[in-house]
Amino acid sequence: MSSRPSAAASIYSIQYLRAIAALAVLVDHALNIPVNNQLSVLINFGRLGVEVFFVISGFIITVIGGAGPFNPITFLRRRIERIVPIYWAATFVVTIAALLLPNLFKTTVVTWEGLIKSLVFIPSEVPKAPLLTLGWTLNFEAFFYVAFAFLFFLSSERRTLVLCGVLGLMVLFGQIADPQNAVLKVYTSPSLIGFCAGALLAQAWRHGLIQRMGALGRWATSVAGILLSAWYLTAPATSELPIGTHFVLTGAGLSIVMLGLQVEAAGLMPKFAPLKLLGDASYSIYLFHYFAVGLLWAVMKSAAASSALVFGLGVILTLAAGIAAGLAVYFLLEKPMMTMFQRRRHGLAASVAPRTAV
């Protein structure tokens, strides 16, 4: 396999890990919602899935950014096309649901200011934004895309070094100043570390370092991933992790993604269509599973509390419903929309292409 893949989408391990990360978040919610989030190991399991997403995002964006300068307008337009429409759809769904069924929502109170801030990725505590609870990760994604685009004029290697340096200084500032402003709290958060880890991993992939690690490297990465994941999963689940725990979390996520790339580079990654499909639909599954899971548990919670068998059946049903909801959104909305954007780009490219005189 080439050390400079033309598209990260051609890397099966990345798609598989996207699926696994989305399913980790789904499992957390399917089991934790009926017990009021008392299972801390599952909270950490879901957060580890999110960290894998962050590392993958840093990896993919660095790879598709190319070896040298790129067009930042084109880059940002494609990122907007990729994440914004589906996120807006999920935000409008939760807005309508919270207005029509306020008793089902504990902390979500819809305001115009909160809705607008949610749509433009401005975090806020009062009023609440994002209205979609899972949208907190999109605030980090959007910020990372903008920061990456500002470095469009650099080579890939320098871009990664500058980006990691700037984000590292922002995290350091957050640790020293402990800002209470919601915007500063997000954009100086140690959660930015995962994107840097993914970008550095992409450089190792681009230059063939991952491909040359061999069997010993795979074993070392496996051991590191197991130890770091076990340490993090058994740590106390808190909304604001200490910086040391964040490094362990990022190390676990990085090890997981690196191992997938090592297995792929060795030609050992099988092609499994169902998992690939879940990877393709992972964004829709991530954003929309909560509606199905939350609604079903609202109906079944009292019955599940009276019987372990009913609880187990409820978990299976909500897991299936969460996947089904995500797949439905993927096939009915996300995939057609991506196809539309792709056709429009090709149409624009054809319309501006020079015509050969007959």
The answer on pLDDT for 357 being more than 50 is: no
pLDDT digits (tens, 9 = 90+) for 20-66: 999 999 999 999 988 887 888 999 999 999 999 999 999 999 999 99
The answer on pLDDT for 8 being more than 80 is: no
Rounded Cα gap, residues 101 and 171, in angstroms? 39
| Structure confidence at residue 355 (pLDDT) | 47
pLDDT digits (tens, 9 = 90+) for 290-318: 999 999 998 887 777 778 888 889 999 99
Rounded Cα gap, residues 275 and 252, in angstroms? 21
The answer on pLDDT for 1 being more than 70 is: no
Q: What is the DSSP letter of 249?
A: H
Q: What is the mean pLDDT of residues 219-245?
A: 93
pLDDT digits (tens, 9 = 90+) for 119-138: 999 999 989 999 999 999 99
3-state secondary structure string across 290-356: HHHHHHHHHHHHHHHCCCHHHHHHHHHHHHHHHHHHHHHHHHHHHHHHHHHHHHHHHHHHHHHCCCC
Rounded Cα gap, residues 63 and 1, in angstroms? 15
The answer on pLDDT for 160 being more than 90 is: yes
Q: What is the mean pLDDT of residues 172-178?
A: 95
The answer on pLDDT for 4 being more than 50 is: no
- Asked if residues 15 and 279 have their Cβ atoms less than 8 Å apart, the reply is yes
Structure token pair of residue 279: 């990877």
The answer on pLDDT for 112 being more than 60 is: yes
Q: What is the mean pLDDT of residues 183-187?
A: 92
Rounded Cα gap, residues 120 and 286, in angstroms? 19
Beta strands in the chain (DSSP E): none
Rounded Cα gap, residues 3 and 17, in angstroms? 20
The answer on pLDDT for 195 being more than 80 is: yes
Rounded Cα gap, residues 118 and 91, in angstroms? 8
The answer on pLDDT for 2 being more than 60 is: no
Structure token pair of residue 200: 């550095």
